[in-house]
Structure 1
Amino acid sequence: MLMNLLTQKGNISLVACAAQMCFVLMFGGSECLFLTAMAYDLYVAICNPLPYPLVMNHKVYVQLAIAAWVVAVPAIIGQTCQICSLLFCGSYIIYHLFCDFPPILKLACGDTFLNEITVYVVTMVFIMVPYLLTIVSYGKIIANILKISSASGKAKAFYTCSSHLIVVVLFYGTAIITHLQPKTNQSEGNGKVISLFYM
């Protein structure tokens, strides 16, 4: 993508497009899982501060990181292989900033219904499930913050969560709009702008 920006050619081979799509989605899928792990970390820090060092230690951090990659990498590689095995005909112009599932599926010939369903299921697993787990964590965090009697304690707890919450809203909001919006409602211009936010 950087090479295309520098040379202004805008050409990409199918293999390079597949690699770009795979890496972008692999990092995006693992990011969803990392954001959920961070929400759990905040939940433990705010709701159970005394046993925090026992619950969240270096070993747990490493296990959460490894689990995120072990789940994301095979799923996204399989998804990328499935999409790239389609037949493409007609225009090979991608009206997007990078290779992503929705614009690539628009270039495919024939029936892509099964691929669209698979993309939808993978999106549900990597976006909606972690998002809902994050929302549950924040629900419990907010309930605990409201129980704090001092205003300074509430402010400190809120500031602890605020940066993570902003990232969660921007990342998940734009990813959900991009990947779970019905195909008929997708505007190419809006898709480019929205994808910049989660990139």
Structure 2
Amino acid sequence: MRTAVFDKTGTLTHGGPTLHGIRVSPAASGLMTEDRLLQLAASAEQYSSHVLASSVVEAARRHGLRLLSGSNAFEHATEGVTATCGNQTVVVGKPDFVRSVASGFEEAEVTGGQLAVYVGVDGRFAGALIMSDPLRENAVDTLAALRRLGVQETLRPGNTACHRRLAGHRPRNCCTGRDLPDSGKVTKSPSSQGCGNARS
């Protein structure tokens, strides 16, 4: 074996992200509360098959928030999801994806073990959900052992916070979502099952 390819979420990390914090954009603070931001994000994410989406939905339920029914829901492979929820257009996903459709975007600061899920509402940046998904205890040692054996590692599209946590043990080749072929859009009903994409 000469090359090992890793998908970050659930492989190098524990794969069960939990909500750490909710950051409402200052520009949206007059119209948006933390609970409303989480409710809208989860209502859109119920149409996604990604592991982060299910974590956002679970966080909303733990906060006692009702998921809104949606329409025009699309999961944009490797990027995020869009849906109309409660008469509002919601976009949830990666920073570049949300930035491309929501004005006033601001990137959130995250620390080790954290990642941000960005949210836009009605064409404007609304805020971010800060999720925690720590590295597995043996992740760094595993990469180091493979390197000693002469195996070249590649990290599939992932969150930059994970790259920072790996520091000097980060795989030599780290591709981004832009390196993947355009696989178009997929739709999913809240009750259907499917493989998650490499959104983060």
Q: Per the shorter chain, which TM-score range?
A: under 0.3
Structure with bigger strand share is: 2
TM-score between the two structures when normalised by the length of structure 1: 0.27
Structure with greater helix share of residues: 1
TM-score by length of 2: 0.27
